[in-house]
A and B are shown apart, each in its own frame.
Chain A
């Protein structure tokens, strides 16, 4: 998506902050907790909330949790993980497009590639491993992107005089086929989508840096890349490295685990045993503010993974975000803006809009 020359200039150096809501909302069957958590994140000034779909007992489907959060929020982007390997690409595209409708243009997609024999067995498929995972991700992302474009923006015309509800010249077949070197069972998707074009045209697609590369997901297929490093010291270098590989058109989002001193308990006491592989900041709020300020000089945004949503969110909203705003490190939230607006992406024209291969022409 090459729309981001404007991004760097418009947004200057101010960045955005995302927060992983993890299993928030699971407290014994009452989802009031989910609405509360996402509202707290929004009023704290977070720009985006993400929803993991890792197979943890008790955790409901991530995309549905994001959908639930849509109508109760106003400005925060809502970004679920959705697997590309053991799901139906047509359903995934439709579900994400629908999410864009129920969030009025605040939806995004963290495209994941589930590497798990259990996930394969659940749907009766052979286990997908290694390089084949990124191939599945690339194929599913391409299906979604084509289906989202398969209705041009003005396809629904509702022309009373002629009785035409749609302009069939503005609906297009996706005609996706997996490439010849596809490792798993190949498939095809005909299209068009069953839902009109998403409000954003294309939802921003995010993926981890590990899925990107030659023969994997191409940088052009994603709008933002999630970058991890084992320590905070290594993170800035990793961001620069990924940026040099993906180019300026892809936003870079740094991943950071956060444990703060909270309610009289030192961060160090609260970190025992946990190990995500991501860089972790453990300590006082002031130190985190400085770290985030420096990371936002390198990255377009940072996603925080709080050790405890309730505890960290409280500290973050009281101490960290206000100070970052005061220092001019945070972009002001865009009221009624889209997730694309946040990322500095313009609204793309459908890839089919100039095409002569309209369905109606039968080409």
Chain B
């Protein structure tokens, strides 16, 4: 395993490189399902094809999201929604047998899992994959989601990070409980507000010691949480200036948390629309957008906020003049917009659309299509752009959501990666066999509590 200096650097040092991850969304409108070349979003072969293409392109990681409850729209699952996804860890365990180097990242929430069970399953994935597992930590406090689980809804919004942090610390203690690769395991106990854990872990350390931790929160609490606990933050700031700002902010928070300036890596969510020339890329982008947000999806998007059927409105016309019926307290289930001040929002949007001369469809496209997260252009121009990110260390990599399954990475791997390699800003081989090595992360220090427990017994 690569050993890094354990001295905590106060100054951020750019690595001069970027890496790629791929986020197989499988759901939501970002993935085009209407094209002739759109494949299944649930068949194993689609996952195999994407992960093996990513590995051919030396991607660091393959991400999967998590589903806890099907999104609902106006009180029922929605015909226009792209839904249906496998359990992340089950799929990743299968993909471990058809890959050798790529990291396997499971998004898992801390609210509807038990720490001992989740830590055991993640440790299993880590062992099965030879030290390539990671956990993308998410929280939810959504009681509506809780209707699928034994506990039901139980967590206050204000408590979610406190709960998540205790959960993550408990998981780390479980992973740290083995003195050596052979054992023996030490008992781990935790008494928290929401759960108690008393477990003697069954699994030893993996080749990368324990799973790598990703975290995606963007609020101040979320960033502090990442600065204290995570190895990589899956950020929402891919634009250059915003990325540089975010880096500064995260470095400050990492130092404040007593970690080094380089301790937490940054991989923003992104989308790439590439072609041999800028003109072809622009044309491709138009095609992609038209398939991502069709007329029905545009109206449905507004319906989430209006709380009304809007099917009589012309998607190529202006935003609806009628006011929303959604009250401040109601939720669009599973879409993360609960508590939106619907009327105020509608006024604001109508003004914005009028101001910019946008139709419903154009407006919704502008709101949903990850405008900020999209790199569009020729292979060489985008490679130049990314090389600048690498030079200043704006990010450590990009987590790419392909807009086509299963061929959506082909352009990137076949054309962008070689351009980046020529510029010396992208790996030319996997440097190690574990995800931690390939990301260049330090070997974790055993948590103080676990170390003490080991000494004491």
Which residue numbers of A lie inside 8 Å of B, CB to CB? 25, 28-31, 34-35, 55-61, 63-65, 67-72, 86-91, 94-95, 97-99, 101-104, 118, 121-124, 151, 156, 158, 160, 162-168, 171, 185, 187-196, 359-360, 362
Contact = CB atoms under 8 A, between A and B. Distances in A.
A190 B44 CA distance: 27
25 contacts: A29-B181, A31-B96, A58-B202, A60-B203, A64-B121, A65-B93, A67-B91, A67-B93, A68-B93, A68-B97, A70-B94, A86-B114, A88-B114, A89-B150, A91-B112, A162-B79, A163-B297, A165-B79, A165-B80, A189-B149, A190-B148, A194-B70, A195-B87, A196-B42, A362-B75
B80 to A, nearest CB: 6
Interface in B10-63: 33-34, 42-44, 48
B169 to A, nearest CB: 16
Given A165-B33, A194-B84, 18 more contacts: A25-B128, A29-B206, A31-B129, A58-B202, A64-B124, A64-B125, A65-B124, A70-B97, A71-B97, A101-B86, A118-B200, A164-B80, A165-B83, A187-B150, A188-B152, A189-B148, A192-B70, A195-B87
B73 to A, nearest CB: 9
B315 to A, nearest CB: 10
A166 B83 CA distance: 8
Contact of A31 (B83, B112, B128): B128
Contact of B124 (A35, A61, A87): A61
Contacts of B203: 57-60
Interface in B137-154: 147-152
A344 B296 CA distance: 44
A91 B80 contact: no
A259 to B, nearest CB: 26
B198 interface: yes
Interface of chain B, main secondary structure: loop
A72 B44 CA distance: 13
A163 B117 CA distance: 40
B83 A194 contact: yes
A72 B97 contact: yes
Contact of B90 (A67, A118, A194): A67
Contacts of A89: 150
Nearest to B204: A58
Max chain A CB contacts within 10 Å: which of B147, B152, B294, B297? B147
Nearest to B48: A71
A164 B79 contact: yes
B117 to A, nearest CB: 6
Interface of B: 33-34, 42-44, 48, 67-70, 75-87, 89-91, 93-98, 112-114, 116-117, 120-121, 123-125, 127-131, 147-152, 181, 183, 185, 195-200, 202-204, 206-207, 294-297
Given A31-B130, A88-B149, A104-B44, A195 B202 contact: no
Contact of B198 (A86, A121, A168): A121
A201 to B, nearest CB: 15
Contact of B128 (A60, A102, A158): A60
Nearest to B298: A163
A85 to B, nearest CB: 11
Nearest to A188: B147
- Chain A CB count within 10 A is highest, among B87, B98, B125, B294, for B87
B93 A64 contact: yes
What 8 pairs across the A-B complex have the smallest Cβ distances?
A194-B67, A163-B296, A102-B94, A60-B124, A61-B124, A98-B86, A64-B93, A98-B90
Contact of A123 (B67, B77, B197): B197
A28 B94 contact: no
